[in-house]
Chains A and B, each alone.
Chain A
């Protein structure tokens, strides 16, 4: 019985590290994980440019192993707009967080033209199809 109780207590406590939460709160004043919340705020500048029934493309110069995650996050953020992981659309969204990323994207997709640059890594292109 004691072993069962100790196992339950140990497994209850071992996964979560409350210290991570406390140090973040001290550092930034935020208790909550902020990365996805911040990501969503970054896309606010495009919301008015996209019709709710739009089907748009998505590109990013990030490596493939994390590019898929950002594509899915963009879909989550912008629903009910449909986002497809492709540059073959009249409107194409881009997540380009680093300074040189825009040039990389334009050389990889020469048919794209910047329609709106939010200056925070989020860009709306046109002319992809």
Chain B
């Protein structure tokens, strides 16, 4: 059973790695950001194979394993393109890991980071042992939908029935879980639990790896420690919450945009990857649509103010090149299968009343402020403490002139504003909605915020 689980995960990760590598293209004579491609590829691969599984579900019962033919063909095509796109990888992979270098390199800070990350892993395992089916959202929404996909036979579309909680939610996580169950040949609580762990590990790894490439190893580990400084991260990771894959995609998009805008690594493919990840975000949670709007707005505003609007059309083509194929499939799902969202369906005169109610603004602002400073072990994502890093490590000269950083800050600001509007206009009881959702929404933005803040730390912090 575990061998099949491992094969399912390996297949998804490999597909993602090959896809990202092919999109980024050839880097003559050098191994372009291998580890970033590796870690970004895992999230990408899980998203792509999930979408592929769902569309196979429409034509054939996945219990027959026919979807594996499609996955195999996808891998073959990607592998054929990869072999010519990344020749330097072959030299690296043939040589194997250089153990001498690996053992010599880590600094004390690296060991501290690895120790904390090791404890985080143990914490995750303890969390799984406490709640093997995950938290409320996992069994009430995501794993329930996975059961409909896997067990449902010809009645799998019952998952869109109005009796269920949030039948309109996208199916990235459920289809990923059902895909693994289909490969394993049976349901297992280990599949969603391991998936949840992989998303959490990927977030840490993408953050540390990206900062290492852009700002050096020291700031990479500082970023990792800052990320793990959120107790909410450790509380929610074992709950199999789909806010983790969304957080991974948000981080991956901001990372890709900053690599595109960097002096050393800039390649058009990074914008294609950003578009691809934005599409997968809409396949993960409805907040992905807000993210898409935030990205388009942020890049447009930044381009107009920086007077680089001439590049905008070229950049938009790259971004939509990655986004369009995924978005078309997700739109098909939304228009053909998913019922109306509860928040959207309730739009009406009451929405306007809520918008004009000053008390709701105060409640939301108060909750956002509390969430930003709280050290409560179950919710803490201390955004307000991130600026403290500037006190210790200094502020980067011209940091705010970097386009990728500006886009990152704008995206985060628009996302926060969007979440605030959702709460202010919610048809549900506001206190209940804030209590049940706010901490997880902040968690979605936490890795991306840590990434942007660490990019703004002074150059001297790289060496001290």
Q: Residues of A with Cβ closer than 8 Å to B?
A: 1, 3-5, 7-9, 11-18, 20-21, 31-33, 36-37, 52-53, 55, 72-73, 75-76, 79-80, 82-84
Contacts and interface: CB of A to CB of B under 8 A. Distances in A.
Given A33-B131, A76-B143, A76-B144, A4 B163 contact: no
Nearest to B226: A4
A1 B130 CA distance: 32
B235 A79 contact: no
B129 interface: yes
Contact of A9 (B116, B144, B161, B235): B116
Given A4-B225, A36-B133, A36-B139, A14 B153 contact: no
A15 B158 CA distance: 37
A25 to B, nearest CB: 9
Contacts of B58: none
A84 B235 CA distance: 31
A72 B147 CA distance: 14
A105 B147 CA distance: 30
Interface stretch (B65-73, B120-128, B416-424): B120-128
A37 B132 contact: yes
B132 A15 contact: no
Contacts, number: 117
B182 interface: no
Interface residues of B, number: 48
A13 B158 contact: no
Contact of B140 (A5, A7, A20, A76): A76
A82 B392 CA distance: 56
Given A9-B116, A33-B129, A76-B143, A82 B161 contact: yes
A7 B119 CA distance: 13
Contact of B119 (A12, A36, A76): A12
A5 B126 contact: no
Given A5-B225, A11-B229, A21-B126, A76 B148 contact: no
Interface string B139-176: 11001100110011101101101011100000000000
A53 B144 CA distance: 15
B378 interface: yes
B126 A80 contact: no
4 smallest A-B Cβ distances: which pairs?
Answer: A11-B231, A80-B152, A16-B126, A8-B228
B456 interface: no
Contacts of B116: 5, 8-9, 12
A73 B115 CA distance: 38
B377 A15 contact: yes
